[in-house]
């Protein structure tokens, strides 16, 4: 590893720390509105608390403990939001003041921090990002050693308590800061997921959304060219721009899909690809510009892995599962269902040794990528699949869609009743039908030929509905209308 010169963070913390409340901590990460519940001083406190707690674990470990084999440093990167760099510098200052070294990766996507945490054997990692949130928001995503997630139930609450109390320990020596922004190891690892010799001529439209994806896309395109892969790429909104001149990078918003869809049609491309702001999610469009729901992409990638690696385990979430379960069964895999959310999926994958895990939200997880999610690996796997099968993307997924049509995720804003009350009431509404019930993640009721999942959002004041059937589009339409009407009567307004 090349060691860069030590530099200093420009942020200067206050001299004393009064007890405060920090309400930007969420179930899986930290996300807040700038100047309201997130600023440089809060970022400093979080960095210092994170560094202190990880440092205490490291220095109190027995010499035989695996923690002792780690590099006592924390890696950090940030997205392109105008507020991200200053928040990152404040976080770095907090870690350094906790006596822990910092490796600054520069501008990154979240998956680069995941990779670097394991690659450098670091104690933990931080990505400063608000992903797809509005421009006046930002946040921090944290992982510990071996890129393991940190959640409210597993360390995040402890970090919050220490950050709020301000009861920091002053170490004898401060940490050191190094800039290691070279992406070569990460790019090479991502490329290892595909056999470039199998790639056939394809034309791609890639929409980086003026987000952090652009530089990484360029590096991957260069690698494909060096390998002689006949891939042509049309780049949209490619240059990183923290003012987001083309809107917040969030392809889940219908209006944000039009540019990619129109470009696929205009250029007669084989595939459209779009990313969110920190590119840990990948969204696909077929050769006609049609957006492919994430649940069908999970089935497609599960099939791709099982065709290569027979009998492996695949992890999936319970919001939409008919198609994924059918694919896994038909291709001899072992299905493992997990509560949705990255910390749960990653934990279940580690426990089961699953080769791949997928969520309908367009998060895709890979055993050989530190059990973490990547937005770059899925589109590379997809172009390999298009090449080896000779099929179009629509041909690959049309059978899935026809066999198991789904509503897509429908979001409702609550105005009167709270989520637990609505979930309890809808269970009572359908109790006479005696459905198979699961409360693994919200409420799932399965009636044999159709099912639905209703769950509260972990990050927003919303309740989320998914409905699917076994090959019956009319039944899907009827049940979707019925439940939407019932939710409206409970004061749940379509968001």
- Asked if residue 188 belongs to a domain, the reply is no
Shared-domain flag, residues 347 and 358: yes
pLDDT of residue 7: 53
- Asked if residue 22 belongs to a domain, the reply is no
Shared-domain flag, residues 280 and 302: no
Shared-domain flag, residues 286 and 297: no
What are the pLDDT digits (tens) for 314-337? 999 999 999 999 999 999 999 999
Q: Please tell me the distance from the alpha carbon of residue 381 to that of residue 388, in angstroms, as a whole number.
A: 10
pLDDT of residue 2: 42
pLDDT of residue 8: 62
Contact by Cβ (8 Å): 355, 367 = yes
Shared-domain flag, residues 120 and 207: no
Shared-domain flag, residues 143 and 157: yes
Domain boundary among 340, 358, 392: 392
The rounded average pLDDT for each run of 10 residues, N- to C-terminus, in the chain (495 residues) is: 54 93 93 96 98 96 90 97 97 97 98 98 98 94 97 92 97 96 98 98 97 96 98 97 92 93 98 96 98 97 96 98 98 97 95 98 97 98 98 97 97 92 97 97 98 88 95 98 97 93
Shared-domain flag, residues 330 and 377: yes
The sign one gets for the Cα dihedral 277, 274, 184, 144 is: positive
- Asked if residue 298 belongs to a domain, the reply is yes
Whats the size of the chain, residue-wise? 495
pLDDT of residue 459: 67
The CATH number of the domain holding residue 435 is 3.30.310.50
CB contact burial 122-157 (16+ within 10 A = b; e otherwise): bbbbbbbbbbbbebebbbbbbbbbbbbbbbbeebbe
Shared-domain flag, residues 141 and 56: yes
- Asked if residue 308 belongs to a domain, the reply is yes
Shared-domain flag, residues 474 and 376: no
- Asked if residue 56 belongs to a domain, the reply is yes
Domain boundary among 290, 311, 344: 290
Shared-domain flag, residues 229 and 281: yes
Shared-domain flag, residues 332 and 431: no
Shared-domain flag, residues 48 and 174: yes
Q: How many domains does the chain have?
A: 4
- Asked if residue 255 belongs to a domain, the reply is yes
- Asked if residue 162 belongs to a domain, the reply is yes
Give the residue numbers marked as catalytic. Answer: 131
Contact by Cβ (8 Å): 315, 338 = yes
Question: Which residues constitute the domain of residue 468?
Answer: 410-494
**For 5, left (φ over 0), alpha (ψ -120 to 50), or beta?**
beta
- Asked if residue 195 belongs to a domain, the reply is no
The CATH number of the domain holding residue 80 is 3.40.120.10
What are the pLDDT digits (tens) for 244-274? 999 999 998 889 999 999 999 999 999 999 9
Shared-domain flag, residues 270 and 310: no
């Amino acid at each position: 590893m090349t060691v860069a010169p030590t530099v200093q963070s420009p942020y200067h913390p206050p001299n004393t720390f009064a007890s405060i409340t920090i309400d930007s901590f969420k179930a899986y990460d930290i996300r807040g509105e700038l100047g309201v519940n997130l600023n440089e001083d809060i970022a400093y406190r979080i960095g210092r608390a994170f560094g202190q707690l990880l440092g205490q674990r490291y220095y109190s470990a027995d010499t035989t403990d695996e923690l002792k084999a780690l590099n006592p440093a924390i890696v950090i990167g940030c997205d392109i939001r105008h507020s991200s760099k200053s928040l990152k510098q404040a976080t770095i200052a907090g870690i350094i003041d906790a006596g822990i070294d910092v490796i600054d990766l520069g501008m990154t996507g979240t998956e680069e921090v995941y990779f670097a945490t394991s690659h450098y054997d670091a104690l933990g990692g931080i990505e400063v990002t608000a992903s797809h949130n509005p421009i006046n928001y930002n946040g921090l995503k944290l992982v510990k050693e071996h890129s393991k997630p940190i959640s409210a139930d597993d360390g995040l609450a402890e970090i919050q308590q220490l950050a709020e109390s301000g009861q920091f320990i002053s170490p004898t020596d401060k940490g050191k800061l190094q800039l290691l922004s070279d992406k070569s190891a990460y790019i090479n690892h991502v490329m290892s997921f595909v056999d470039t010799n199998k790639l056939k001529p394809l034309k791609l439209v890639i929409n980086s959304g003026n987000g952090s994806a652009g530089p990484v896309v360029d590096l991957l395109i260069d690698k494909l060219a060096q390998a002689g892969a006949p891939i042509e790429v049309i780049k949209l909104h490619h240059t990183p721009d923290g003012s987001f001149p083309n809107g917040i990078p969030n392809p889940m918003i219908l209006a944000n899909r039009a540019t990619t869809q129109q470009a696929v049609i205009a250029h007669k491309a084989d595939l459209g690809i779009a990313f969110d702001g920190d590119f840990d999610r990948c969204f696909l469009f077929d050769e006609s510009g049609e957006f492919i729901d994430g649940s069908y992409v999970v089935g497609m990638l599960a099939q791709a892995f099982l065709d290569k690696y027979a009998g492996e385990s695949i992890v999936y979430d319970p919001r939409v599962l008919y198609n994924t379960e059918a694919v896994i069964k038909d291709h001899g895999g072992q299905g493992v269902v997990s509560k949705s959310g990255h910390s749960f999926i990653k934990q279940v994958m580690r426990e089961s040794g699953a080769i791949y895990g997928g969520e309908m939200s367009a998060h895709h997880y890979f055993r050989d990528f530190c059990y973490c999610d990547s937005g770059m690996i899925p589109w590379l796997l997809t172009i390999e699949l298009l090449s080896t099968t000779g099929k179009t993307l629509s041909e690959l997924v049309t059978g899935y869609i026809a066999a198991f049509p789904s509503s897509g995720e429908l979001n409702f804003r609550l105005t009167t009743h709270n989520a637990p009350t609505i979930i309890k009431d809808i269970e009572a509404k359908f109790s006479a039908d005696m459905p198979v019930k699961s409360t693994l993640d919200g409420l799932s009721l399965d009636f044999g030929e159709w099912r639905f999942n209703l769950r509260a959002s972990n990050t927003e004041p919303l309740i989320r509905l998914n409905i699917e059937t076994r090959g019956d589009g009319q039944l899907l339409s009827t049940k979707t209308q019925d439940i939407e009407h019932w939710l409206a009567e409970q004061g749940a307004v379509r968001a």
